[in-house]
Structure 1
Amino acid sequence: MNCSGCGKDIVSERLFCTRCGAFILNPQVGKKASLFRRWVATVIDPVLAVVLYFFAAGFLGGVAMAFGMGATLGAIIIVTIGYGIFYLNLLKRGMTPGKWLLSERVVESISGNYPGLWRMILREIIGKFVSGLFFGLGYFWAIWDRDGQAWHDKIAVTVVVQKR
């Protein structure tokens, strides 16, 4: 069997072509996201969150104070809305704001489709907790894994692809 992207023979039991990085089951989904790009997306998320938090805190904090609600309540509202937007985007579309900016997304490794709510919850909550155990070994596992999967990807049967 040959890769539809580059024509190279496909190595058995691989999720991505070893030459062009195309997702073998569905090349239209994209190619394997590099670990560096995944790391950059992970760094973008909190930086973007902090910047947006300060802008929103200035605006909503002023509104909260004007209505006598206090700065603490305003901060709670801001943080709740921010985390809500972040996780709804992740759970609904398989991408964080950082992944979106870098054209990456999480897909099922068995089909290339969106993983679905429960699989994303499994990946993000249970899987990332397990990946963080043993000094974060589960995150570093993606360096040695032939398909670039960290433990949370393996637990949820997902991969991160760069969209074409």
Structure 2
Amino acid sequence: MQRADAFLLDSAINFGPMWLLIWIGYAIDEQSSGDSGEVPAAILSWVGIITMIAAVVVQLIREGRTGQTVGKRVFGIRAVRDRDGLPPGVGLALSRRLCQVLNYPVFGLGWLWAIWDTKKQTFADKITGAVVVTADAGPPRHPVAWGQ
């Protein structure tokens, strides 16, 4: 359960401000007569998109350096390299993030895979050689499944 909770919190941090600003811009545009609301709405939308990009980049750098996004830190887990237990580095964290799209096809099978996998890895984790462990775990590392 920790992985799912961390994912939801990270998603809210990364995308929540963007959707809020876009929604406010839409409300301003709808309340304005003529074209007077289009410029503020467009500005708010672009600020929201830039905010989302900045949040994603900051989270990616955090995960690369420490193995933890804000969500992972709150829920006491971290992503590490399976071969040596060290933080993944920004490159591997980015690769893992990009590979997570492969977890969604076929009813989220890639995410569910972690429930019965011996190392509790999703498809993205397997491809990139990462594992999610409890943050305070010393060697040996203890994988954390989606259902925990």
Q: State the shift of 1:52 in Å.
A: 4.2
Provide, for residues 23-80 of structure 1, a one-character-per-residue CA deviation record: whole Å limited to 9, x for no partner. xxxxxxxxxxxxx11011112223345654548x87xxx9xxxxx9522122212222
Alpha-carbon distance in 1 for matches of 2:108, 2:97: 14
Structure 2, unmatched stretches of 5+, are 29-37, 137-148
CA contact (8 A) 2:13 2:55 kept: no
1:25 paired residue number: none
CA distance in 2 between counterparts of 1:51 and 1:115 reads 26
**Is 1:97 aligned to residue 76 of structure 2?**
no
1:87 Cα deviation after fit: 3.3
* Alignment-mate amino acid for residue 49 of structure 2: V
Number of the residue aligned with 2:100: 128
Partner of 1:47: 12
Aligned residue among 80, 87, 93 for 1:107: 80
Aligned-CA RMSD value: 2.7
Q: Tell me the TM-score normalised to structure 2 length.
A: 0.67
Aligned residue identity for 2:83: I
* Secondary structure, counterpart of 2:131 in structure 1: strand
Residue identity matched to 1:71: A
Aligned residue number for residue 53 of structure 2: 83
Alpha-carbon spacing, 1:87–1:150, altered in 2? closer, same or farther (3 Å): same
Flag the 1:92–1:98 CA change in 2: closer, same or farther, 3 A.
closer
- Secondary structure class of the residue paired with 1:146: coil
Amino acid at match of 2:56: F
